[in-house]
Amino acid sequence: MSSTFIGMPSFPAAARQAVQDAQLRHNLRKATHTIRGKRGEVVGELDDWAELRDAGRAIKDRTLRHLDRYLEQLEEQATGAGATVHWAADAEEANAIVTRLVRATGEREVVKVKSMATQEIGLNEALAQAGITAYETDLAELIVQLSDDFPSHILVPAIHRNRAEIREIFARRMAEWGVPAPDGLGDDPRELAEAARVHLREKFLTAKVAVSGANFAVAETGSLVVLESEGNGRMCLTLPETLISVVGIEKLVPTWADLEVFMQLLPRSSTGERMNPYSSVWTGATPGDGPQDVHLVLLDNGRTDTLADRVGRQALRCIRCSACLNICPVYERSGGHSYGSVYPGPIGAVLTPQLRGVQGSMEASLPYASSLCGACYEVCPVAIDIPEILVHLRERVASGPGHAAERAAMAAAETVLGDHRLLHMAQRAASAARGAVPRRLPGPGAGWTDTRDIPDIPPRPFRDWWREHEKERARGGGSGDAGGRTEHEGGDR
């Protein structure tokens, strides 16, 4: 994946910083709660949402099962329509292809439609190395680019910024990248949008080359589809002479009828809108209209390996709606950067370790970045069972190096829990030592006791009480509950 995030600390350490940033937590809470509320309303309007979700899942699964066939169909159709199709096994190959294509035009600047795939491969950085400047044209992406920042959300990459911060970034950095921000720029959203519009218009009017991704690729006609809210992407897809689209191989849908399902699922799940504001479709090149030199770079970059895993392959159904981010209590506190890749939140926690492997410490920490509360699964419009994949990936991580101590502790726990006599002995030992349990635990337990009190250990476990209760019952002594009073000293646990 992209070089941008390499060297990030692993999730718990990165999240610690985020949790302490009160402004960030406030921004995130406000933004995610607003959008999650909107999603809830518009999803609630459809009484066939469950069926739509099932259909979305089924279409994606069927496509993934026959991916090779549909990819060939896509290539054939796109080529027939006048596009050139390229295959990229990994990020390096994809970047090399795009760089070569841009160089061939003789241009040194490209405009970009917001695209996760190009961020995943670190395309902007690769182009910069080749002396080519890539201009992001999505408003939030522009904010991230101008502030040398990383995106922190799939849909709203600058979700962690508030208006005042954005105003400051525009005023300080726009001049370096083109048309400067107007003097006396305020932080009213309309003023900020206008400043961005003026800044970007110059790019749209001069750019000869555009780079995009695609939300969907329709195999039956070789068409690519981009959904957006601002219309800036459409400018890039119409005005330039050359268009290069980098598309993950899992973005396929077989037919237009299949696409119809996602045109309902995606806007409601992601922006909480009933219909998507700007939906652009392009099929190869059309003489005299739009870009005449059209390229499609089909990107693997770990997807085939993910497809080979029975449980993990579900993640390839993802349509990047970001509903799972907006509902996730962990994302809300840790922010997107903590996930160390362009895919933050629950989907990032399962996608990144699969695309990159779990050898790195960041990647190995991601499957644990969840309380397994299940909210992500519940909102996911294509029913990706994210908790199931998380547990599956934990298994992969736990069997690897660096987990020997935990493995031993778990095995020891299993030994005790695997035999009720051993468990009983351990319980009695704990009860006997109940006064001696420190308020602050050593080792990994300290993370618990630093912020929470551990419960008091009761004088005896349930199973001891039960034996007496049985005896009393045999003697005909009613409930045998000695007045039913609690033995639990310390009152409130």
Partner 1 sequence: MRIALFITCVNDTLYPDTGRAVVRLLERLGHEVVFPEAQTCCGQMHYNTGYRRDAQRLAVRFVTTFAGTGADAVLAPSASCAAMIRDNYPRLAEEGSRLARATAELAPRVHDLSELLVDVLGVTDVGAYFPHTVTYHPTCHGLRLLGLGDRPYRLLREVRGLELKELPGAEECCGFGGTFAVKNPDVSAAMGSDKARGIASTGAEVVCAVDNSCLMHIGGTLRRERAGVKTVHLAEILASTEQEPARV
Residues numbered 273 to 332 that lie near ligand SF4 (CB under 6 A) are 318-324
List the one residue out of 466, 454, 462, 458 whose CA is nearest residue 432.
Answer: 458
Select the binding partner of residue 461 from partner 1, ligand SF4, none (C-beta < 5 to 8 A, by kind): partner 1
Closer to ligand SF4 by Cβ: residue 259 or 380: 380
Closer to partner 1 by Cβ: residue 286 or 479: 479
Q: Which amino acid is at 129?
A: Q
Select the binding partner of residue 380 from ligand SF4, partner 1, none (C-beta < 5 to 8 A, by kind): ligand SF4
Measure the CA–CA gap between 116 and 214, rounded to whole angstroms. 9
Closer to partner 1 by Cβ: residue 240 or 387: 387
Closer to ligand SF4 by Cβ: residue 223 or 269: 269
Select the binding partner of residue 319 from partner 1, ligand SF4, none (C-beta < 5 to 8 A, by kind): ligand SF4
Select the binding partner of residue 318 from ligand SF4, partner 1, none (C-beta < 5 to 8 A, by kind): ligand SF4
Closer to ligand SF4 by Cβ: residue 24 or 379: 379
Select the binding partner of residue 19 from partner 1, ligand SF4, none (C-beta < 5 to 8 A, by kind): partner 1
Select the binding partner of residue 359 from partner 1, ligand SF4, none (C-beta < 5 to 8 A, by kind): none
What is the nearest approach in angstroms of ligand SF4 to the Cβ of residue 179? 34
Closer to partner 1 by Cβ: residue 189 or 466: 466
What is the nearest approach in angstroms of partner 1 to the Cβ of residue 469? 7
Closer to partner 1 by Cβ: residue 1 or 349: 349
What is the nearest approach in angstroms of partner 1 to the Cβ of residue 154? 20
Cα 164 vs. chain centroid, distance in angstroms? 26
Closer to ligand SF4 by Cβ: residue 60 or 208: 60
What is the nearest approach in angstroms of partner 1 to the Cβ of residue 39? 14
Measure the CA–CA gap between 297 and 190, rounded to whole angstroms. 36
Select the binding partner of residue 347 from ligand SF4, partner 1, none (C-beta < 5 to 8 A, by kind): ligand SF4
Select the binding partner of residue 321 from partner 1, ligand SF4, none (C-beta < 5 to 8 A, by kind): ligand SF4
Select the binding partner of residue 382 from ligand SF4, partner 1, none (C-beta < 5 to 8 A, by kind): ligand SF4
Residue appearing with tokens 């704990």: 430
What is the nearest approach in angstroms of partner 1 to the Cβ of residue 14? 10
Closer to partner 1 by Cβ: residue 176 or 450: 450
The footprint of ligand SF4 on residues 359-418 (CB under 6 A) is: 379-382, 384
Select the binding partner of residue 320 from ligand SF4, partner 1, none (C-beta < 5 to 8 A, by kind): ligand SF4
User: x/- string (CB under 6 A) for ligand SF4, residues 153-182?
Assistant: ------------------------------
Closer to partner 1 by Cβ: residue 179 or 398: 398
Measuring CA to CA, how many Å separate 442 from each of 10, 241, 408, 445, 446?
22, 64, 18, 6, 5
Give the CA count within 13 Å in the CB-facing half-sphere of 271.
15
Q: Which amino acid is at 435?
A: G
What is the nearest approach in angstroms of partner 1 to the Cβ of residue 161? 20
Question: What are the backbone dihedrals phi and psi of residue 115, each rounded to the nearest 5 degrees, phi first?
Answer: -150, 125
What is the nearest approach in angstroms of ligand SF4 to the Cβ of residue 180? 36
Closer to ligand SF4 by Cβ: residue 259 or 319: 319
Single out the residue of 59, 347, 355, 362 in contact with ligand SF4 (rule: CB under 6 A): 347
Q: Which amino acid is at 343?
A: Y
What is the nearest approach in angstroms of ligand SF4 to the Cβ of residue 221? 24
Q: 174, 359 in Cβ contact below 8 A? A: no
263 binds ligand SF4 (CB under 6 A): no
Select the binding partner of residue 179 from partner 1, ligand SF4, none (C-beta < 5 to 8 A, by kind): none
Using CB under 6 A, list all residues that contact ligand SF4: 269, 318-324, 347, 379-382, 384
